[in-house]
Structure 1
Amino acid sequence: MAASFVAHDPAFADIVGANPTIDLLVEFDEYPFAHEAGVFFENADNTDSLYITSNRFLRPGTEDEQIVRISHVTLARHGSDARTAATTVHTEMTAVSEAVPTGNGGVNFSYSFAEGAAPEDAVLFCAQGSRAQPSGLYAMQVAAPNKVELVLSDFFGRPFNSVNDVVVATSQKAGPGSIWFTDPPYGYEQGYRDRPMLPSQVYRYDPVRKSMRAMADGLGHPNGICFSPDENVVYITDTDWLHGSGETDDARASTIYAYDVISVSGEPFLANRRLFAMADNGIPDGIKCDLHGNVYSGCGDGVHVWSPGGVLLGRIKVEGGAANFCFGRDGEMFLLNETRLWRAQLGSVKGALLGI
């Protein structure tokens, strides 16, 4: 079966509801268009948007030039309730795909694209970079002409390795508007970045104060990152099990760590690192919470769901797994499955990021 719901704990029924479904929205075989990011925008006209990044693939006509493209999926709702409304799906590659070099994770963002201008809806993309273009954080304007600006590319002059995933804080404790992101060495291992000049770490950037800090180290390949709903906990995945060469090592971490966000001298720190969960299939890549604090991560056989206490509640299985996913509205979840984009309809859960 291509997709299914598997319960490991009775509490999974409260998440998926009485009649969960999963449908194939888009299938496209020319390249793996549905790999990372998954940034959802709910629009007032019942035409929602989803921005996703492809996996790396060779530019047509070349033998060794690896590129990533960004797709914009438009979901036209024919009805006000996502659970019952028919949906027309349109997919296109944005004109600015390669202005974000080797794009990966992303998050909803508000950004001023001109000095003195009002902030507007944007996607903050992680760019893994290339030999010629820096890794870092890039803001992409959602409205046409989809302008792209480099927000950050180095740690006090030392270039980032391959920035992978990002989340923006809203709480006072974590620092409202601060940007938290991971930086593993995948670009070097996969042959499109120079040798790392920084350890594999997690960083925090305050765009108002222009301050930059390393927040967590000791990780082999820090990858996905998200906050608990109250932002008292940060979850970070370590995907050291999978190296950029494609080599795997069962003795290395395929793990989600939890950290408490504490305040010291008025500034946030990460403390009390603990093993929250280990993925039994593949790696825990993209990671998100719902409003009840349950933790979801894209793994080798689909999306796994844990309770706030680290108990595996169940999994949404899709053949080939899901590197990433995102919540839509009214219990929707979009699963990125390389050449396929799936939509699962769950119960009454809402993603903590947007709360819709």
Structure 2
Amino acid sequence: MASIHSSVARANSSIPSAFAVYNSSFLDILGHAPKLDLLVENNDYPFAHEASVYIPTSDELFMSSNMFTDPTTNKTTIKVSKVSLSKHPLTAEIVNTTIPMPNGGINHDNGIVWTAQGDMNDKGGLFQMSAAPPYNSTLLLSTFHGRQFNSLNDVAVSDDGSIWFTDPEYGWHQGIRPKPKLPNQVYRFDPATKDVRVVADGFGRPNGIAFSPDQKVVYITDTAETVGDGTKDNSLPAAIYAFDVTIAHGQPFLTNRRFFAMPGEGIPDGIKVDTDGNVYAGCGDGVNVWSPGGVLLGKVLVKDGASNFSFGLDGRMFILNENKLYAAQLNRRVQGTLVKSRK
């Protein structure tokens, strides 16, 4: 299959090969001069795996690594790294934190909320970390009414201040967490009241989570196809589901669960939404983009795929590729819902 398709390809032969157009609407997202650049490469450890949190005030990007064996301690670990995008040359600087096995993260309260998977000795949970040295962190939530979470994965923040997060059982299959004490579920935590409750179940492995621009829809990925023990099962979900946010008795509930999209390659891991409502997910061949109606618009192609990514300012997208960090330049008007561009 050609990377750019049929009549769209013939009319737009000048589009770089790193971008695959499946629907003409993607051309407006790309703009007149799209490009994909390698920013940082570090083959010592897989520094660019999850989170990808852009801090506009400092022009810095935070990310969590994949698991690797620390050569000093000989223990399995995950490190948080920071790339200062205004400095040259660009490097991934390790940020020392006390967060046990951090994974997903999001902008929150002038810093970052991290989902910590935990390990055999430390419970996981939600942590608030400062985005400035010395990067102090505070535990916000560690259990569901006394029951340890499995291995928190990704997180979204609602306009009402509540924190929504996914909790698959990957940590157990990877040998870093005890046997699960909870199903594979999605939760809502209200920092003001300390209330925590389940908002969705029925997943194989709930993973990425994001709100639509108007906060009326929540998108959640199920990555059960990747079992977690190094194997895959193609009969299990690799899908994005959409839910309506319904208010009942003063509380939000997720209703009208529906299948939204499935990538052609790999699983939809991290997920983000732009201010036009288009849905982006890190997949096996890069970042895939769907319309709000679930139509595949196009892809930013990255060899070996992307687990996660984030939007910066002025149409810039940062893509995590394990040992490599890329930047895609899209139309300067493209904005993610988490970080608004300069006027």
TM-score range with shorter-chain normalisation? over 0.9
Match of residue 81 from structure 1? none
Match of residue 278 from structure 2? 294
Match of residue 80 from structure 2? 70
Look up the SS of the partner of 1:351 in the other structure. Answer: coil
Look up the SS of the partner of 1:89 in the other structure. Answer: coil
Given that 1:104 and 1:127 are in contact with CA atoms closer than 8 Å, whether structure 2 keeps it comes out as yes
Q: CA deviation at 1:251?
A: 0.9
Match of residue 91 from structure 1? 92
Match of residue 16 from structure 1? 30
Cα deviation digits, residues 243-278 of structure 1 (max 9, x gap): 111111111100000000001111100000000001
Q: CA deviation at 1:160?
A: 0.3
Given that 2:47 and 2:92 are in contact with CA atoms closer than 8 Å, whether structure 1 keeps it comes out as no
Q: CA deviation at 1:108?
A: 0.7
Match of residue 148 from structure 2? 159
How many residues are paired up?
326
Given that 1:301 and 1:321 are in contact with CA atoms closer than 8 Å, whether structure 2 keeps it comes out as yes
Look up the SS of the partner of 1:138 in the other structure. Answer: strand
- Provide the rounded CA distance (Å) in 1 between the counterparts of 2:89 and 2:329: 16
Given that 1:76 and 1:88 are in contact with CA atoms closer than 8 Å, whether structure 2 keeps it comes out as no
Unaligned runs of 5+ in 1: 78-86, 111-120, 171-175
Corresponding position: 1:251 with 2:261: no
State the TM-score, normalized to the length of structure 1. Answer: 0.89
Matches within 5 A, 1:1-356: 4-43=18-57, 47-61=58-72, 65-76=75-86, 89-96=90-97, 99-110=98-109, 121-170=110-159, 176-347=160-331, 348-356=333-341
Look up the SS of the partner of 2:90 in the other structure. Answer: strand
Unaligned runs of 5+ in 2: 4-15
Q: CA deviation at 1:95?
A: 2.1
Identity of aligned residues (%): 51
- Provide the rounded CA distance (Å) in 1 between the counterparts of 2:210 and 2:118: 22
Look up the SS of the partner of 2:28 in the other structure. Answer: helix
Q: Which structure shows the higher strand fraction?
A: 1
- Provide the rounded CA distance (Å) in 1 between the counterparts of 2:233 and 2:205: 13
Match of residue 12 from structure 2? none
Q: CA deviation at 1:61?
A: 5.0
Q: CA deviation at 1:3?
A: 6.8
- Provide the rounded CA distance (Å) in 2 between the counterparts of 1:355 and 1:146: 24
Q: CA deviation at 1:62?
A: 5.6
- Provide the rounded CA distance (Å) in 1 between the counterparts of 2:263 and 2:53: 24
Which one is further off, 188-197 or 52-61?
52-61
Given that 2:281 and 2:288 are in contact with CA atoms closer than 8 Å, whether structure 1 keeps it comes out as yes
- Provide the rounded CA distance (Å) in 1 between the counterparts of 2:304 and 2:185: 28
Look up the SS of the partner of 2:224 in the other structure. Answer: coil
Q: CA deviation at 1:90?
A: 3.8
Q: CA deviation at 1:186?
A: 0.3
Q: CA deviation at 1:355?
A: 2.3
- Provide the rounded CA distance (Å) in 2 between the counterparts of 1:185 and 1:341: 27
RMSD: 1.5
Q: Which runs of 4+ in 1 moved over 2 A?
A: 87-91
Look up the SS of the partner of 2:207 in the other structure. Answer: strand
Letter in 2 for 1:222: P
